[in-house]
Amino acid sequence: MSYTAKQIRNVCLLGHSGSGKTMLVESMLNVTGVTQRLGKTADGNTVSDYDPEEIKRGVSLSASVIPVQYKDHLFNIIDCPGHFGFYGEVVEALSVADLAVIVVPAKGKVPVGAERAYKMVKERNLPCLVYVSKCDEDHSDYNAVVDELKEKFGNQVTPIVSPLWDAKKNVIGVLDVLNRCAYGMHDDGKSHHIDIPADKEDFVEESYAALMENVAEYSEEFMEKFFDGEEFTPEEVAEGMLAGVKDGSIVPVYAGSAFTAMGTEAFMHGLITMGPYPMNTDPMTGVDADGEPVEVSVSAEGDTVVYVFKTVSDQYGKYSYVKVLRGKLTPDMTLVNGRTGNNEKIGRLYAMCGKKASELKVLNAGDIGAIAKMDGLKTGDTLSTDGIKLDPIPFAEPVYSKAIAPKVKGQDDKVGVGLNRLNEEDPSFSIENNAETHQLVISGAGDIHLDVIVSKLKARFGVDVVLSDVRIPYRERIRKSVSKQGKFKKQTGGSGQYGDVWVRFEPNEESEEFVFAEEVFGGSVPKNYFPAVEKGIREACLHGVLAGYPVVNLKAVLYDGSYHPVDSSEIAFRTAAQLAYKAALPEANPVMLEPVGELKVTVPDSYMGDIIGDLNKRRGRVMGMDPVGGEQVITAEVPMAEMQEYAIDLRAMTQSRGSFTFHFVRYEQCPPAAQERAIAQAKELEDK
């Protein structure tokens, strides 16, 4: 069946890991008859968690698209991971969702994952509602959770569907305030109308009246009708509630239980009435083929524009997940990739339901689907008839790095191929081949993120790897001038080798670059050997005398020497220059330099003391503090050597509420204790 944009709801499920997002999807599929039995995360048989790593770990690791058809509407449900290491998947989902649903369990405190989800939603001006899950479990407390939601998110939090309890505190159904009715549950999971309990009638009427005040704010006409005591029609109620959800003045709260399907139908009905359809959402921005700013709104009219928001590349093939923004998409169309300028012929189209693909003949404006085997496409690409390039997905910077190497020598190519394939799926991690430290470095959101990458390398590409600390790229420099002779003389029976130089090594305060100069008089060293002397010292500078790190801020002046008319050669003078270098630098008061970066940590006010105390332990210098959006941004300069595990430590200190960025700024002289540690580490690496 083909759906128009007004019938489509693109919904992403957000929240803390384990809050019940995947089970809510299972309940929706079961109630609508797509599945005959309820899958369970613990059993590894849910529709949306189909990757072997997800089944093994029992948590969602990637966003999966699940289409649900209900009452002539299509919900494209994007089930997102709740673990903080996989928020790249959340950002992908948010780029195409028209409504966010934050799932919160009905017992315990509102988890930090819900707080972070709400923050991300507000930053993107995306409408949202809240689903309180597991309402029928022991020790659940729906009312306490709603109170805390209001405390954390504000008074716009508005309960719409709440649980109904019997005298023994057993949940027997749900109460729908907006429609002023109640639902009980049949044994087959279907809901049915029941009478509102007498002790709840006043509560329903009071809550409904409060909702109508919100509806009245939609327009002056509605306000006038409200004050005249006139009832709003169901269409007007829906119009006003939708407007409130869209502008964020209303955050509806729905209660339910995925295991019993309690509240699932009421929730889906809420998606229809309160979920903005694609044409009712903000446009996407970008540039046209000439580089001029452009906005693209969802519309069935006009030339086709398609946005690629996710890539899956596995044993089933490569699928590019897309949202059609304008026009329609059909197989065999030829569109322009805004990133490359190349023409791309569209392959087969599919509706994805977890790993199951159902072929489609057309994708209409506002709909989400997948294109098969489009090797030229990457996540964030735009396909259009006229070369439009929409803004890329704003992935967070990777903050946790490790060196990666194969356990078996000779498998470096397999590691590289595997990482590049995985990076197509997950652009939130980066790969760098560091020529200076001779390490292949992967950077991601945290230790679990990298651990999953390692597991996928083994499972999909058959290569075992090990992770190790990233080597810090120290430098060495000298602090005083020293002159030394370097003399190379070798007689082997035939023509010999002879080179003799006197070189003055001095600190170069003007530049990190090596500077070579000559002050030779009288031809003691012929000019044709000057380049050999310079080359010899440049080669030697790659390895300092303290720990073998490159030497910077060095000036070498060739001022004297001698030569042999027969035995002198370029290689002899190059060797002589290196001998002078090795003799001089230990006496030139060498020191080590360490890389220092600018750290920006964003944390709630309550963690300020812990963060600053920790920075002091890391030899950090706090440069400033700025309040931003109810949080504090601490700016500090910290040595790179102290930042290796900061992503994990910050998560522990702030219960995952903190975030940070770290960028290299400059090199500074190592304190004695840090220098000793760096030298010891270099010696340890040399001995391995």
pLDDT > 80? residue 688: no
pLDDT > 70? residue 493: no
**Tokens of residue 546, six digits:** 């303290």
Residue range(s) in the chain whose domain bears CATH number 3.30.70.870: 405-468
Q: Given this structure, which CATH class describes domain 592-687?
A: alpha beta
- Mean pLDDT value across residues 385-397: 93
Pairing of strands 73-79, 356-360: unpaired
Tens-place pLDDT, residues 510-522: 889 999 999 988 8
Confidence of residue 437 (pLDDT cuts 50, 70, 90): confident
pLDDT > 80? residue 475: yes
Tens-place pLDDT, residues 281-301: 889 999 998 899 999 999 999
Q: What are the C-alpha distances in Å from 519 to residues 504, 526, 557?
A: 10, 12, 7
**CATH for 5-280, among 3.40.50.300, 3.30.479.10, 1.25.40.10, 3.40.50.11440?**
3.40.50.300
Of the listed ranges 185-189, 241-245, 402-406, the least confidently predicted one is 185-189
Identify which of 301, 258, 340 has the alpha carbon closest to the alpha carbon of residue 42: 258
Q: What is the pLDDT of residue 361?
A: 93
Q: What is the pLDDT of residue 315?
A: 62
Tokens 């899958």 sit at which residue? 39
Confidence of residue 448 (pLDDT cuts 50, 70, 90): very high
Measured distance CA(44)–CA(58) in Å, rounded: 7
When computed from its CA atoms, the radius of gyration of the chain, rounded to whole angstroms, is 33
Looking at domain 405-468, does it have CATH number 3.90.1150.10? no
Q: What is the pLDDT of residue 170?
A: 78
Q: What is the pLDDT of residue 195?
A: 86
- Mean pLDDT value across residues 336-351: 93
In sequence order, which residues have a C-beta less than 8 Å from that of residue 65 and are 6 or more positions away?
76, 77, 78, 321, 352, 353, 368, 370
Residue range(s) in the chain whose domain bears CATH number 3.30.230.10: 476-589
Q: What is the pLDDT of residue 226?
A: 83
User: Which architecture, in CATH terms, is 476-589?
Assistant: 2-Layer Sandwich (3.30)
Residue range(s) in the chain whose domain bears CATH number 3.40.50.300: 5-280
Q: What is the pLDDT of residue 367?
A: 96
Q: What type of residue is 5?
A: A
Q: What is the pLDDT of residue 188?
A: 63
pLDDT > 90? residue 632: yes
pLDDT > 90? residue 225: no
In sequence order, which residues have a C-beta less than 8 Å from that of residue 419 and are 6 or more positions away?
404, 431, 442, 453, 457
Confidence of residue 314 (pLDDT cuts 50, 70, 90): low
Q: What are the C-alpha distances in Å from 126 to residues 10, 123, 252?
A: 12, 8, 14
pLDDT > 70? residue 91: yes
Tens-place pLDDT, residues 193-224: 888 888 888 888 888 888 888 888 888 888 88
**CATH for 284-390, among 3.30.750.24, 2.60.40.350, 2.40.30.10, 3.40.50.300?**
2.40.30.10
pLDDT > 90? residue 607: yes
Mean per-residue pLDDT of the chain: 91
Residue range(s) in the chain whose domain bears CATH number 3.30.70.240: 592-687
Q: What is the pLDDT of residue 245?
A: 92
Q: What is the pLDDT of residue 404?
A: 96
